[in-house]
């Protein structure tokens, strides 16, 4: 089975995040594989081990993303592809990334493509579904269980806490939700072998794409940190006075009613 | 000059750090109390291929370098000192002498199970009257019909209860009144070999520390490890590597104590401010960070020299001596910063302080390290 994993390098949101000049400070930030993409890598490895085939991990980004690709190789993926857009694209968006990935994948005869449900940085959850749309294959998002029998696929997907069972067929794109599996630690032999596994680096030219073909469709106006959480307030006094005060505060201070 | 870790070393660090936080740290407090050996974390470490980390792949090892070994020991020790010392002794005292001095057959038979984690590695050197002073060795191995007959006892031997075999030192001959000491590999299930596990220790409670008693234990003479009469020399070479492990352990325990102290100082409020806003506490924390950074750098340097195939005895002693002494200071200050709470087990730092003390003693006391360094600088 020909399996592809869409992987994104993100900063670790458990570390402190700072903003300067309208951008997130990359100095001192820790970078990781997007946690949902880790589920995708793990699932891909499990499907390969059960059904045979090959797992290729692909990312769109800069040179630095090699680390995250190597980690996926250390976990057990077979090959990695980095589409390096550092020099060509200044401000990409979900359209940019999905266009590039679909161009890469269009002649690869992928049986199964797995992505994370959402990236913890941008949080759009758009890239994987757009790729499926561009490749004209079915997709199922936020899956928590995947069973493959020949070309028939049975999926459980998480719908806001409820489960939905879906039957579909390969070729297929799915996105991984928490609970799909427990990603493994890379093993020592895996780490030692990761460097020797193939990692192809491509640029837009190699995909016959021009900068205009992938120009962003959206523009980021502003990036800001959430407002500091302030201490709560407890209202005192007669109950009806409290209600009056609360309504007034919601109206004048919080401006929500 | 380059202070960056390689991509493999960095991946190993990330992997073992996550593993230590998730799988080793949560049980450390409980194991300190119950003295239960950390068998479950080690089962998982074996699955991940960590148990044979620096040994050749042909014997089931990982083929990684000494810097990676130091990283793994540091991270495990940060989570649990007992787990750290078990691992360090397994590799540097148990596996290393067989890898360094064993024949091809000995490596296949005895190093492979250490690499796979089927057996823990252990080394029988210390005796009631001998440790760094090899002259005090009393255990004897007499050759008889192609066999060694071993009699004697050993003390403070790490991991022996979980080892299928171990190398130990014994007197094989006397020349001009001088004892000839050799190393011999002995299966722990041999007749007449008793392993006693009943020490009451100050710290490192979940590590396995044993007495060995050997009464007419027969092993074939092929089990001689390395050259006859070179047991002590080989042991000194083995300990050079072991000292990097102890240095790394000290860095890990000190790091754990420092992290706890820093967090506590930021949270705890007295006189209307957090402790970390008092200069007296700030300076303590600054000193801790400084000492840990220096100790880690020295551990890495000794490990790097070893990986380059260069001489590293002096640096190994320096890193072991410095790291273990600052670990004692840092853990003691971490308790101090916690005040009365630091004296309570719930806050972990008292455990770090108890665990730290062994590092100034094991694998050559601080005094012996100073002897080694003095000799190396030409005194």
Q: Domain holding B206: CATH number?
A: 2.40.110.10
Mean pLDDT computed over A95-121: 96
Question: Could you list the residue range(s) of the whole structural domain that residue A199 is in?
Answer: 2-214
* Chain A residues lying within 8 Å of B4, measured CB to CB: none
Residue A154 lies in a domain: yes
The per-residue pLDDT string of chain B (379 residues; one tens digit each, 9 = 90 and over) reads 899 999 899 999 999 999 999 999 999 999 999 999 999 999 999 999 999 999 999 999 999 999 999 999 999 999 999 999 999 999 999 999 999 999 999 999 999 999 999 999 999 999 999 888 878 899 999 999 999 999 999 999 999 999 999 999 999 999 888 899 999 999 999 999 999 999 999 999 999 999 999 999 999 999 999 999 999 899 889 999 999 999 999 999 999 999 999 999 999 999 999 999 999 999 999 999 999 999 999 999 999 999 999 999 999 999 999 999 999 999 999 999 999 999 999 999 999 999 999 999 999 999 999 999 999 999 9
Pairing status of strand B193-196 against strand B178-187 = unpaired
Kindly report the CATH number assigned to the domain that includes residue A14.
3.40.50.620
Look-up of token digits 């120009």: A215
Distance from CA of B18 to the nearest CA of A (A): 8
**Interchain contact, B7 vs A74, CB within 8 Å:** no
User: Given pLDDT bands bounded at 50, 70 and 90, which one contains residue A147?
Assistant: very high
Q: Give yes or no: residues A79 and A147 share one domain.
A: yes
Which pTM value belongs to this model?
0.89
Asked whether residue B135 falls in the same domain as residue B240, the answer is no
Give A197's contacts in chain B (Cβ within 8 Å). none
Give domain status of residue A30, yes or no: yes
Residue A181 resides in a domain: yes
Mutation for testing the A interface, residue in B9, B15, B54 having most A CBs under 10 Å:
B15
Residues of chain B with Cβ-Cβ distance to A189 below 8 Å are: 49, 57, 62
| Residues of chain B with C-beta less than 8 angstroms from the C-beta of A67 | 7, 10
Judging contacts by C-beta atoms under 8 Å, the chain A residues touching residue B60 are none
B246 & B340 share domain: yes
B370 in the same domain as B285 = yes
In a domain, A222, yes or no: no
Cα–Cα distance measured from residue B170 to residue B91, given in angstroms and rounded to the nearest whole number = 22
For A83, A100, A143, the CA distances from A61, given in Å and listed in that order, are 6, 11, 25
CB B73, CB B302: distance < 8 Å: no
Q: Are B161 and B208 in contact (CB under 8 A)?
A: yes
Cβ distance of B10 and A188 shorter than 8 Å: no
Residue A217: predicted pLDDT: 93
Residues B362 and B344 in one domain: yes
Mean pLDDT of A195-218: 94
Question: Is there a single domain that holds both residue A107 and residue A233?
Answer: no
φ and ψ at B319, to 5 degrees? Answer: -70, -35
| Active-site annotation holds for B363 | yes
> Is B12 in contact with A188 (Cβ distance < 8 A)?
yes
| C-beta atoms of B19 and A185 within 8 A | yes
Contact B10 A67 (CB under 8 A): yes
> What's the mean per-residue pLDDT of chain A?
93
% residues pLDDT > 70 (chain A): 100
Confidence at residue B336, expressed as pLDDT on a 0 to 100 scale: 98
Q: Taking CB atoms and an 8 Å limit, are A185 and B49 in contact across chains?
A: no
Distance (Å) of CA B248 to CA A116, A123, B17, B19, B175: 37, 40, 14, 17, 39
Asked if residue A233 belongs to a domain, the reply is: yes
How far away is chain B from the Cα of A124, in angstroms, using its nearest Cα?
27
B372 plus B237 within the same structural domain: yes
Last-in-domain residue among B116, B143, B165: B116
Are residues B102 and B140 located together in one domain of the fold? no
Q: Which residue has the higher pLDDT, A200 or A226?
A: A200
Number of domains in chain B: 3
Q: What pLDDT is attached to residue A90?
A: 85
Catalytic residue of the set B104, B363, B367, B376: B363
Please report, for the domain that includes residue B100, its CATH number: 1.10.540.10
Q: How far is CA B52 from CA A158, B46, B56, B94, B121, in A?
A: 41, 8, 8, 11, 10
Q: Is there a single domain that holds both residue A64 and residue A172?
A: yes
In a domain, A221, yes or no: no
**pLDDT at residue B267, rounded to an integer:** 95
Q: How far is B60 from chain A (nearest CA, A)?
A: 10
Domain housing B175: 123-230
Least confident interval from A85-89, A177-181, B208-212, B257-261? A85-89
* CA-based nearest residue in chain A for residue B54: A188
A133 and A241 fall within a common domain: no
Contacts of B49 in chain A (CB under 8 A): 187-190
Q: Do A191 and B10 touch (CB under 8 A)?
A: no
Q: How many residues are there in chain A? A: 257
Domain check: are A234 and A148 in the same one? no
Q: What is the pLDDT of residue A173?
A: 98
Let me know whether A179 and A243 are in one domain: no
**What pLDDT, in 10s, does the model give residues A22-52?**
777 877 778 899 999 999 999 999 999 999 9
Q: How close, in Å, is residue A223 to chain B by CA atoms?
A: 29
Q: What pLDDT was estimated at residue B81? A: 98
CB A70 within 8 A of CB B11: yes
Task: Identify whether B1 is part of a domain.
Answer: no
Nearest to B64 among A70, A74, A192 (CB): A192
B48 vs A191: CB contact, 8 Å cut-off?
A: no
Q: What is the bridge-based pairing of β-strands B165-175 and B147-158?
A: unpaired
Q: How far is CA B304 from the centre of its chain?
A: 18
Domain-terminating residue out of B210, B230, B250: B230
Q: What is the pLDDT of residue A222?
A: 87
B369 and B248 in a single domain? The answer is yes
**Higher confidence at residue B177 or residue A200?**
A200
pLDDT at A118: 95
Residues A101-110: tens digit of each pLDDT:
999 999 999 9
Out of B8, B14, B49, name the one closest to residue A187 (CB): B49
Residues of A in contact with B19 (CB under 8 A): 185
Q: Considering only the beta carbons, identify the residue of B7, B18, B48 that sits closest to A188.
A: B48
Query: Residues B144, B212: one domain?
Result: yes
What's the total number of domains in chain A?
Answer: 2
Q: What is the CATH number of the domain that holds B286?
A: 1.20.140.10
Q: What is the mean pLDDT of residues A49-70?
A: 96
Contact A188 B47 (CB under 8 A): no
Which of A70, A71, A188 is the closest to B62 by Cβ? A188
Same domain? B261 vs B223: no
| Residue B244 shares a structural domain with residue B218 | no
Within a domain: residue B310? Answer: yes
Shared domain for A160 and A250, answered yes or no, is no
Does A195 sit within 8 Å of B8, measured CB to CB? yes
Contact status, residue B45 vs residue B51, Cβ threshold 8 Å:
yes
Domain membership of residue A220 (yes or no) is no
> How many Å lie between the alpha carbon of B72 and the closest alpha carbon of chain A?
11
Within this chain, do residues B200 and B314 fall inside the same structural domain, yes or no? no
Q: What is the pLDDT of residue A24?
A: 79
Residues A15 and A106 in one domain: yes
Residues A175 and A246 in one domain: no
Q: Do A74 and B11 touch (CB under 8 A)?
A: yes
* Gap between the Cα atoms of B238 and A112, Å rounded: 51
- The confidence score (pLDDT) of residue B134 equals 77
Strand partners, B155: none
pLDDT at B23: 96
CA nearest B297: which of B247, B228, B371? Answer: B247
Q: Is A253 found in the same domain as A205?
A: no
Q: Select from B48, B51, B54, B58 the residue whose CB has the most chain A CBs within 10 Å, as the one to mutate to test that interface.
A: B48
Distance of CA B374 to the CA centre of its chain: 23
Query: Are B176 and B67 within one domain?
Result: no
Q: Are residues A15 and A140 in the same domain?
A: yes
Q: How many CA atoms does the CB half-sphere of B3 hold within 13 Å?
A: 5
A206, A236: one domain: no
Residue B127 lies inside a defined structural domain of this protein: yes
């Amino acid at each position: 089975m020909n399996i592809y994993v869409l992987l994104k390098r993100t900063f670790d949101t458990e570390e402190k995040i700072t903003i300067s000049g309208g951008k997130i400070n990359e100095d001192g930030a820790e970078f990781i594989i997007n946690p949902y993409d880790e589920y995708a890598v793990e699932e891909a490895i499990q499907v390969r081990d059960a059904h045979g085939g090959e797992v290729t991990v692909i990312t769109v980004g800069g040179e630095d993303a090699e680390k995250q690709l190597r980690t996926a190789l250390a976990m057990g993926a077979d090959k990695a592809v980095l589409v390096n857009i550092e020099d060509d694209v200044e401000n990409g968006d979900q359209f940019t990334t999905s266009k590039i990935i679909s161009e890469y994948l269009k002649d690869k005869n992928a049986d199964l493509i797995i992505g994370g449900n959402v990236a913890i940085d941008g949080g759009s959850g758009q890239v994987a579904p757009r790729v499926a749309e561009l490749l004209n294959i079915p997709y199922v998002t936020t899956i928590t269980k995947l069973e493959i029998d020949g070309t028939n696929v049975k999926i459980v997907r998480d719908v806001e806490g409820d489960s939905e069972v879906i039957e579909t067929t390969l070729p297929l794109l799915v996105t991984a939700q928490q609970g799909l599996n427990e990603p493994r630690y890379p093993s020592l032999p895996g780490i030692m072998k990761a460097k020797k596994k193939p990692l192809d680096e491509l640029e837009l030219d190699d995909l016959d794409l021009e900068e205009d073909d992938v120009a962003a469709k959206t523009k980021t106006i502003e990036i800001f940190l959430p407002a500091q959480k302030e201490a709560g307030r407890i209202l005192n006094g007669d109950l009806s006075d409290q209600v009056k005060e609360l309504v007034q505060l919601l109206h004048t201070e919080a401006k929500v009613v | 000059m380059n202070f960056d870790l390689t991509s493999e070393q960095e991946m190993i660090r990330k992997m073992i750090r996550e593993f230590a936080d998730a799988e080793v740290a949560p049980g450390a407090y409980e194991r300190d109390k119950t003295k239960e050996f950390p068998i479950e974390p080690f089962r998982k470490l074996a699955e991940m291929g960590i148990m044979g980390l620096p040994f050749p792949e042909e014997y089931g090892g990982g083929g990684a370098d000494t810097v990676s070994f130091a990283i793994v020991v540091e991270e495990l020790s940060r989570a649990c000192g007992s787990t750290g010392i078990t691992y360090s002794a397994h590799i540097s005292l148990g596996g290393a002498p067989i890898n360094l001095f064993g024949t091809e057959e000995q490596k296949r038979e005895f190093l492979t199970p250490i690499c796979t984690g089927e057996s823990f590695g252990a080394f029988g050197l210390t005796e009631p009257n001998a440790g760094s002073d090899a002259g005090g060795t009393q255990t004897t191995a007499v050759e008889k019909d192609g066999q060694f007959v071993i009699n004697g006892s050993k003390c403070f031997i790490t991991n022996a209860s979980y080892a299928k075999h171990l190398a130990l030192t014994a007197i094989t001959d006397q020349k001009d009144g001088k004892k000839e000491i050799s190393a011999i590999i002995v299966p722990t299930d041999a007749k007449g070999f008793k392993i006693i596990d009943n020490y009451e220790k100050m710290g490192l409670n979940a590590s396995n520390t044993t007495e060995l008693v050997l009464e007419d234990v027969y092993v074939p003479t092929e089990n001689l490890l390395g050259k006859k009469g070179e047991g002590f020399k080989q042991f000194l070479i083995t300990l050079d590597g072991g000292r990097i492990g102890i240095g790394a352990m000290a860095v890990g325990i000190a790091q754990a104590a420092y992290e706890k102290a820093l967090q506590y100082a930021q949270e705890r409020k007295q006189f209307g401010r957090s402790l970390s806003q008092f200069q007296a506490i700030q300076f303590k924390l600054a000193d801790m960070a400084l000492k840990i950074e220096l100790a880690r750098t020295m551990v890495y340097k000794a490990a790097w020299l070893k990986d380059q195939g260069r001489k590293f005895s002096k640096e190994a002693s320096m890193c072991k001596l410095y790291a273990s002494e600052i670990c004692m200071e840092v853990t003691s200050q971490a308790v101090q910063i916690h005040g009365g709470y630091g004296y309570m087990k719930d806050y972990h730092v008292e455990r770090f302080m108890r665990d730290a003390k062994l590092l100034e003693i094991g694998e050559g006391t601080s005094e012996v390290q100073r002897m080694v360094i003095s000799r190396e600088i030409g005194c």
